[in-house]
Structure 1
């Protein structure tokens, strides 16, 4: 399998949505009160913002001309509260691999490319959110050295 990583183009929009929709469906199955079922999970305006700005990037993974994975990154700054140290960090909005290509090292390659992208922009860290039900993602991120920084807690009121 020859894997190629590259920056996404406009022509990749539908394929990127197809890949991210697979993960969205898993989330909707696990948490239907939180996640909707959508044909286009990535809105065109949001997708466009990643190609229009130097502090955002979409990296896609291709095998034999087929898009099989995607990482969507952006640089962020910490909130300007006196109690927080000012810092710039990279945020990984999406990391997804088509189900038929998972467990072949593609997610790891996308993650490594994301780390490199962040370092090139002098980010002090790479951060992301993952839902507690998503044990597969939790194991993957632990395997690449990520750890839990904080947690969001909730209580249902209705």
Structure 2
């Protein structure tokens, strides 16, 4: 049975493995932008992230195996003459191990993000998704995420 929990220090290796898998999927789809990696976070960086007040890292776990990860950052947007001040949750990473996909794990992780937002009196959640990542786009739309902005790129063939 799937359990949604907060990540702990002892989860480092499993979480890093999932984040490497997610990142290397991006590398495969867009190698001119992403580098292939074998390590996402150093242990020290992972520990620092877990200790950050404005970050929540949640995991999906089945039979003592981490199957999914969601890393969110709470951000404060300051008021200006153009926008109202507000708090937002930014989903920085979300992923499920390949063999555990299509079981609702990512949607349950997103439900937990909703709960975190409600507990912290935050009324919107945002994320960025690469245009090539159709499976992620489908997941987010299924979970009622909508386009807010659209970032376009023109490749000139020069780095």
- The TM-score range, normalised by the shorter chain, is over 0.9
The alpha-carbon distance between structure 1 residues 45 and 91, as it changes in their structure 2 partners (threshold 3 A), is farther
Aligned residue in 1 for 2:39: 40
Measured at CA, do residues 9 and 119 of structure 1 come closer, stay the same or move farther in structure 2, by a change above 3 Å?
Answer: same
Task: Output one character per residue of 1:71-103: Cα deviation in whole Å (capped at 9) or x when no partner.
Answer: 101100125532111110011111110000000
User: Which runs of 4 or more aligned residues in structure 1 lie more than 6 Å from their structure 2 counterparts after TM superposition?
Assistant: none
In structure 1, the gaps of 5 or more residues are: none
Paired residue secondary structure (1:116): helix
* Residues in 1 aligned to 2:146 and 2:4: alpha-carbon distance in whole angstroms: 25
TM-score by length of 2: 0.92
Secondary structure, aligned partner of 1:88: strand
Q: TM-score, normalised by structure 1?
A: 0.93
Q: For residue 71 of structure 1, what is the aligned residue in structure 2?
A: 70
More divergent stretch after superposition (74-83 vs 137-146):
74-83
Count of aligned pairs: 157
Q: Counterpart in 1 of 2:129?
A: 130
Give the secondary-structure state (helix, strand or coil) at the position aligned to 1:69: strand
Pairing of 1:22-33 with structure 2 (within 5 A): 22-33=21-32
CA RMSD of aligned residues (A): 1.4
Residue in 2 that maps onto 1:89: 88
| Runs of 5+ unmatched residues, structure 2 | none
